[in-house]
Amino acid sequence: MGQSPQEALVIGIGAVSLAAFLLAGLCQLLRIGRVWRALLVPGVFLAAYFMAYGKVPSFPPVGAVNKIFYIALLGTVLGLMVDLAGKPRLASLLMALQPVAAALYIGEARLRAAPIEVLGAAAAGFAAMWLMRRHREVSTGEEGMRRALVLAIAALGFAPIALLGASSASLQLCLIFAFAVLATLVWNLRNDDYAFGTSSLLGGAGGMIAVVYAVTLITRKTDLLALAVWSLIFLVPSLSDRLPWVATRKGKVVRLVAFALFCAVPAVCATAIAVLSYGSSFPI
């Protein structure tokens, strides 16, 4: 799959993004229900995982990297079941529990040595998920697209932090995931039919949070200042509601572009901090 990591990355981004784009279009064409269309986001996460690590890990998973896959898969299945059953309270409970359970599961090896770090990560993951699911009762397509944009830009922003934190596979996963999520948005720019359901949150966002856990808790080379700045991305939806130049723009596409640019600010700042504070030559 490509002669160099760069080629593999480009092929991975191209293949998964194209597949995501075509599937999103097919879903529109066939008028697939929202609950099933919401599977696109966790679907591309699992595909990105497969492209980055070149495997479906065996079960039960051995090690943090392999656990990521099953956290996302379980989140996807539970999210789908909850959406099919129409149980919003159960969905909220699962969204609260999943980041905490994932932190304990991935950080298991560090629970005795550094319980504060694991619990801190769990709290941060919980906060990120809580901010992502904010206004969940608002089920417009535009709100769903905003959530997908937050997730895609968070993945884009975390990619260089992961690389400089000694995880080139996480860089690949994040970039493939980010571009593929963006590809799913294209068909919905002119309508209000984008679906971002519980499965998208538990499978897609939950999977992405698990990647951050693995890099920070297990590889433990993450630039914490860059990570803190990066996490501000999750505050953008709340803040953007109060900013006229984002919230009250005429035209959905213009509003979404303004929102995406706002999201990109902490991502770019975090990347700059990570690069500047990296005390060595680039690891290639």
Partner 1 sequence: MLKLTRAYLVSTVLSTLLLAGQVEAKTFDIDIVHSSMAFFIDHLGFSRVIGVAKEFGGTFEFDAAKPEASSLDVNVKVASISTNNTQRDSDIQGADWFNATEFPDITFVGKEFKQANENTGSIVGDLTIAGVTQPATLDVVFNKEGENPWDKSHVVGFSAQTTVKRSDFGMKSALGMIGDEVRLYIEIEGRGR
Which DSSP string do the residues of 48-106 spell out, in sequence order? HHHHHHSS---SS--SHHHHHHHHHHHHHHHHHHHHHHT-HHHHHHHHHHHHHHHHHHH
Least distance (Å) from partner 1 to the CB of residue 88?
Answer: 35
DSSP 8-state secondary structure symbol assigned to residue 228:
H
* Exposed/middle/buried for residue 138 (C-beta within 10 Å: 0-12, 13-18, 19+): exposed
62 touches partner 1 (CB under 8 A): yes
Q: Does residue 253 bind partner 1 (CB under 8 A)? A: no
Sequence length of the chain is 284
Q: Does 66 bind partner 1 (CB under 8 A)?
A: yes
* Residue 2 is a binding residue for partner 1 (CB under 8 A): yes
Q: What's the one-letter identity of residue 284? A: I
d(CA 283, CA 275): 11
Shortest distance, CB of residue 215 to partner 1, whole angstroms? 7
Question: Using CB under 8 A, which residues numbered 6 to 35 contact partner 1?
Answer: 7-8
Q: How far is the CB of 234 from partner 1 (least distance, A)?
A: 23
Q: How far is the CB of 169 from partner 1 (least distance, A)?
A: 5
For partner 1, which is the closer residue by CB, 108 or 193?
Answer: 108
- Identity of the residue, 132 or 226, whose beta carbon is nearer to partner 1 in the bound complex: 226
Give CA–CA dist 28/92, Å, rounded.
28
Cβ closest to partner 1, residue 89 vs residue 112: 112
Token pair for 17 = 């993004």
Q: Which stretch binds partner 1 (CB under 8 A): 3-11, 96-104, 119-127, 240-248?
A: 3-11
Residue among 223, 174, 197, 201 at smallest CA distance from 98: 201
Kindly write down the DSSP assignment for every residue of 18-33, as one continuous string: HHHHHHHHHHHHTT--
Smallest distance from the beta carbon of 145 to partner 1, in angstroms?
A: 32
* Shortest reach from residue 214's CB to partner 1, in Å: 5
Dig out the tokens for 130 from the structure.
């809580």
Q: Minimum CB separation from partner 1 for residue 107, in Å? A: 9
Start-to-end CA span in the chain (Å): 19
- Least Å distance, CB 202 to partner 1, is 22
Residue 166 engages partner 1 in binding (rule: CB under 8 A) = yes
Q: Quick one: DSSP state of residue 220? A: -
Tokens 């999943």 correspond to 98
Site for partner 1 in 167-226 (CB under 8 A): 167-170, 214-215, 217-221
Nearest Cα residue to 66 out of 100, 109, 95, 106: 106
Q: In this chain, which of 14, 33, 63, 88 binds partner 1, going by CB under 8 A?
A: 63
Question: Exactly one of 65, 183, 256, 270 binds partner 1 (CB under 8 A); which one?
Answer: 65
Give the binding site for partner 1 (CB under 8 A): 2-5, 7-8, 53-55, 57, 62-66, 108-110, 165-170, 214-215, 217-221, 280-281, 283-284
